[in-house]
Amino acid sequence: MTTIIDIKNLKKYFGEIKAVDEISFNVQHGEMFGLVGPDGAGKTTTIKMLCGLLNPDSGNATLLKKDLKKDREYIQKEIGYLSQKFSLYGDLTVDENIQFTAQIHNIKDFKRRRDELLEFTRLKPFRDRQAEKLSGGMKQKLALACSLIHKPKIIFLDEPTTGVDPVSRRDFWKILSKLLQEGITIFMSTPYLDEAERCNRIALMNKGKLIAVDTPAQIKNMMDKQVVEIVASPIRKAYKIIRENLAFEVQIFGDRINVVVDNYETDYPEIKQLLKPENIQIKDNRLITPTLENVFIHLIKEAS
């Protein structure tokens, strides 16, 4: 595969805050690459630097074999960018927003492309509706259509499904899979680890630093421990007791606790023995395959 984005020691500080702390990785042509991490991890800052909207303090990147610092104008013509917040014009209709974006990119014969994108995003029935009157999911689809009007080679999506309802979120992913089939490289950020599973490769990021870069499957293999899933009642009391009394990583997910142990056969009996005198009922326990969330939390703790 051909490297389409190559990042070398990229750094951006805001005062004392290390927003992006000398990160290096690459993205291959035609892949969906996910930048994954919590709020404040540095995902948006990274994307803004790669789109030429922020200048790095040090380091550099090449996109489409062009230098980000020297060839910014060329790069910006070849990429699309969907920001975290809806940034189109609420008083313009769907059609007018796409037309306006086409004119910014100096595309004169845009109507056929616009119609293709409206069909593609299923916005055709709403083409005369003002953007401010669209649902959250439809606004994201409109923003995506606008970012694709000039046929970019790379599209950057900054948390595109945050705040979007589940149905619209599913539709959005269908659209992205079609874009991949067209050969467009997708670089997206997300706080959702279930979305990260859909990417070809991901970079886990926390507090400006990269923790791991690989396929989701390979990252899961980085955890050399076992995960016990325990269903107990009352769940929060069980979580508190395990966390305060044993040297295991404990994560709570709804009505279940995940405990990261070295060995199930020897460590689970210790957990069971601890909970028994506290009148906590263990309804079920089983070994589970570590999720990305398990691994991410584990790697953050290992790095700290």
Confidence of residue 8 (pLDDT cuts 50, 70, 90): very high
Distance CA 238, CA 226 (A): 19
Do 79 and 180 lie in one domain? The reply is: yes
Q: Which two tokens stand for residue 173?
A: 């992913």
3-class SS at 274?
A: helix
C-alpha 78/C-alpha 4 separation (Å) is 12
Q: What CATH number is associated with residue 289? A: 3.30.70
Q: Give yes or no: residues 196 and 84 share one domain.
A: yes
Same-domain check for residues 180 and 264? no
Strands 58-63 and 17-28: unpaired
Whether 4 contacts 153, CB under 8 Å: yes
Q: Which residues pair with 205 in a beta bridge?
A: 210
Q: Of 99, 78, 76, 79, whose CA–CA distance to 89 is shortest?
A: 99
User: Number of folded domains in the chain?
Assistant: 2
Place of tokens 């690989």: 214
The mean predicted confidence, pLDDT, of the chain is 90
> Are 95 and 113 found together in one domain?
yes
- For 44-79, the pLDDT digits (tens) are 999 999 999 999 999 999 999 999 999 999 999 999
Strand partners for 186: 32, 155
Asked whether 173 and 99 are in contact (CB, 8 A), the reply is: no
> Vertex 59, ends 53 and 63: CA angle to 5°?
60
pTM score of the predicted model = 0.86
Domain that residue 187 falls in: 3-220
Q: Which residue among 220, 251, 278 closes a domain? A: 220
240 in the same domain as 111: no
61 and 146 within one domain: yes
Q: Provide the b/e sequence for 107-146 (b: ≥16 CB within 10 Å).
A: eeebeebbeebbebbebeebeeeebeebeebbbbbbbbbb
Residues 212 and 242 in one domain: no
* Boundary (domain end) residue, out of 220, 252, 278: 220
Residue ending a domain, choose from 220, 251, 284: 220
Residue with tokens 């805001």: 14
pLDDT range class, residue 300, cuts 50, 70, 90: confident
| Model pLDDT for residues 156-207, shown as the tens digit of each residue | 999 888 777 788 788 888 888 888 988 999 999 998 888 899 999 999 999 9
> Are 138 and 123 a contacting pair, CB within 8 Å?
yes
* pLDDT for 173: 86
Say if residue 166 is in the same domain as residue 185: yes
DSSP per-residue string spanning 77-117: HHEEEE-SS--S-TTSBHHHHHHHHHHHTT-SS-HHHHHHH
Output the domain CATH number for residue 191.
Answer: 3.40.50.300
> Do 133 and 275 sit in the same domain of this protein?
no
Residues 195 and 238 in one domain: no
Question: What's the one-letter identity of residue 22?
Answer: E
